[in-house]
Structure 1
Amino acid sequence: MDITKLNHKELDRYQRQIIIPGFGEEAQTKLKHARVLIIGAGGLASPILKYLCSTGIGCIGLMDSDVVEVSNLQRQIMYDECDKGQYKVEVSARKLKEQNPDINIQCFNFRLTADKAIDLFGRYDLIIDACDNFETRYIICSAAKKTDKPWIYASVFEYGGQVSVFNYKTKTQYADLYPEAPEQVPLSDGKKIGVLPVVPGLIGMIQATEVIKIITGIGQILDGELLLYNALDLSCMKLKIGKQA
C-alpha cells in the first residue's frame, strides 16, 4: 500500500475540500503529511486546533503548561466546566482524537524555553504562535530563524487582533515589527488583559487558514504583511512590515 496516497476513508472524510477547484487530492495529501507545532492552548489555539484537526493535518504538536480555569471558558472554546483543573494539552488531545482519530497529537506539558526550542522546532514544518506574552514570541522568532521554519504570529486585545507570517519567503521577522517588546499589562495582582471572546476565535481561524495555505501552496500568504482586525466596525487593514514597507 502506498502510504503517501489517501485511503478510501480519507477520500470520504475530506471530499468537500478535495472537490474545491485548485485543491484536490494533492493538496490533501500534503496536509496529511504535514507536521505543525502550536505554542499555547488558549483562546487562539481553540479554533486553530479544531479546524486543523478537521482539515486533516497529519501531526499536531501542542505546547502549554497551564490547567483549565473557569475564567478560560469565556473565550477558550475547547474546554468545558468539567475540564476545570486538568492540563489543557491533555484535554485538547483527548477531544481532538474524538473528533478525528487518525490525527497524531503530540503533547508538551511545559513552557517554551530557548534551550528546548531549537530541537523541538526541528521536528515540525510550521510553527504557530498562540501564546499571550512577548517573551515567548521572541524565543519563537529566534528559534524559527535558526531552524529556518516559517511561523504564524497573532495577538488579540480587547476588540481587535493582528496576524502575520514570519520567516517565510521574504524572511521578514517579528523583530522587524517589534524590535523591542512593547510595554505589556501585567497578568498578576488581579490585573488582566480584556478581550471580546469572539476576537480570538476569528483571529485563530485566520491563523489556521494561513497554515492550510502555506502547506498546500494555495492563495496569497501574509508574508511581510500585518493584518489588523477591529471587531467594532468589522474593518480589516493590511500593512507592510520592515523591508517590505
Structure 2
Amino acid sequence: MTTALFVPCYVDQFYPDVAISTLELLERLGEDVVFPSTQTCCGQPMANTGCVSDTAPVARQMVDIFADYDTIVCPSGSCTTMVRHHYDAFFAPDDAAYQKVKSRTFELCEYLHDELKLDHLDVRFPHRVSLHQSCHGLRELRLASSSENMTPRVDKVRSLLSLIQDIEFCEPERSDECCGFGGTFAVNEPEVSASMGRDRVADHVRTGSEVLVSGDMSCLMHLQGLIRRENNPIKVMHAAQILAGRPLPA
C-alpha cells in the first residue's frame, strides 16, 4: 500500500512544516509515503469564484497524478472536500480513475481515525488547547457533529488529540461557528470576514486557551493574521503539528 501525500498550495507556500509534520507522522505509523512532485492546486479557489472552465483542467491533472496510488492523504478538509464532493462536474460517472481518486482521498485526521484506527501516540503536549472545527470538515466531511444537524458524530480531530499526554482542552462557547475565511469570500467581503474572525478569536481567548488548533490551515491563516494584528495572547497550530510532537511555537 502506497500513500500519496497531497499538499495544498497554500500549505506548500506558507506553512511547509504542516506538510513535513504530516509526512513524519504517517511514516512513524508505518506508512509508505510518496510525494508526487508534479502536483499543483486542486482548483478550489477558481471553482469558488465561478471559473468552472478554468477549474476543469486542474481537476483532470489532479486525477491523472494521483490515480495510480492506493491512498491520497491531505492535511486539509477544504481541499479534500473539493476532490470528494465537487469534482463530479468535471468527469463522466464511469471514469474509473476519477472514482478511485474520489473514494481514496482522505483528510489527515479522518484517515488516522477511520482507516488506521490510531489508538496510541507517544507524544506529550502540556498546554491548554481549543479546537476550531472548519466548515468543510464539519459540514461536508462530517468530522464531528454540527449544531444545525442533530445527528451525533464522533469528533475525529479531538479523539486523536485526546491520545496526547498532558493536553488540556478548553471549550469555546460556539464550537462550530465559521471563522469567516471562506477562501475568496475573505477577498470579496473583507469587513464581514474580519468581523467573523475576530468573534472566533475572542471566543477562544476567553477560554484561557494557549493554542487554537484546527485541521485546516486556511482557517488558521485567517485567524493568525487577526491574532497578530491585534496582539492576542494565543498561538495557532495545525493538528498535524501537535500529533507529530511539535512544541508550542515561540
Question: Normalising to structure 1: TM-score of the pair?
Answer: 0.34
Structure that is richer in helix per residue: 2
Structure that is richer in strand per residue: 1
Question: Normalising to structure 2: TM-score of the pair?
Answer: 0.33
